[in-house]
Amino acid sequence: MLSIIIAILLLISVTYGIFSDNIANVSYAAVNGCTDAVKLVIFLSGSMALWNGIMNIADKSGIVKKINKIISPLTKRILKGINKNPQALKMVNMNITANFLGLGNAATPLGISALKEMNKDFSIYSQRNIAVFTVLNTASIQLIPTTVAAVRLAHGSSAPFEIIPAVLITSVISAFAGCLTAYVLFTPGLKNKKEKK
């Protein structure tokens, strides 16, 4: 998928560059883009190292467990029928918490385990739960957007983290929109939709 995107980008750049007589700029970008990537990663790696380290401390100090307990009632409501499968519930809670704390690397394997558990068909809502949970992960509710803040800082932002309230509101609303859509679309017995087993 990514190769196609890059190919398209390159094709459009060169074609449009020739067409709009901008090809000199394109050529410059071709030679300099790579260096910019290295500069960016050097800048980002500090931030990634710091926050992964801090969140690891949070994880080992049981903060993850505490947050799990808080969100569990909410999760049970949204993913109906999941309490028939307590292992799935546990994985779901941990995935949500990891995402929330910005531990993307931890969240993904947890999410996969959660899905595998949910797929074991313990309830008629299992397919819907899978859908809602997947969409929740694509919508991402993150408390501290460390990567974006690092890039902002690199370009002279006076207050890189001031976006946090806006981000929270937007992520929650978009997650809600997505999950609601999945919830409705996958409700068992809706019209004559075939349930994929």
Partner 1 sequence: MKIIDLFVPLIIVLIFLCGLFKKVNIIDTFTEGAKNGLKTAVEILPSLILLMTAVEMFMASGADKALSDILSPVISFLGFPKECVPLAIIRPVSGSGALSVLENLFSKVSPDSFAGLTASVLMSSTETTFYTITVYFSSLKKKADYRIFLAAAAADITGFIFSSLTVRLLF
d(CA 92, CA 96): 6
Among 50, 70, 74, 124, binds partner 1 (CB under 8 A): 50
CB closer to partner 1, 122 vs 161: 161
CB closer to partner 1, 87 vs 147: 147
Classify residue 196 by its DSSP letter: P
Residue 110, phi then psi, degrees to nearest 5 = -65, -40
Subset of 129-188 contacting partner 1 (CB under 8 A): 130-131, 134-135, 137-142, 144-145, 147-148, 151-152, 154-167, 169-171, 173-175, 177-182, 185-186
CB closer to partner 1, 23 vs 71: 23
Residue 154 burial (C-beta neighbours within 10 Å; 0-12, 13-18, 19+): middle
d(CA 170, CA 53): 27
Among 9, 70, 74, 124, binds partner 1 (CB under 8 A): 9
d(CA 128, CA 130): 5
Residue 52 burial (C-beta neighbours within 10 Å; 0-12, 13-18, 19+): middle
CB closer to partner 1, 56 vs 124: 56
| Residue 92 binds partner 1, judged by CB under 8 A | no
Task: Name the token pair of 40.
Answer: 């960016």
String marking each residue 103-122 x if it binds partner 1 according to CB under 8 A:
--x--x--xx--xx--x---
Beta carbon of residue 28, minimum distance to partner 1 (angstroms, whole number): 7
Subset of 22-41 contacting partner 1 (CB under 8 A): 22-23, 25-26, 28-30, 32-34, 36-38, 40-41
CB closer to partner 1, 52 vs 72: 52
Task: Name the token pair of 168.
Answer: 């929270």
| Residue 124 binds partner 1, judged by CB under 8 A | no
d(CA 15, CA 36): 23
| Residue 191 binds partner 1, judged by CB under 8 A | no
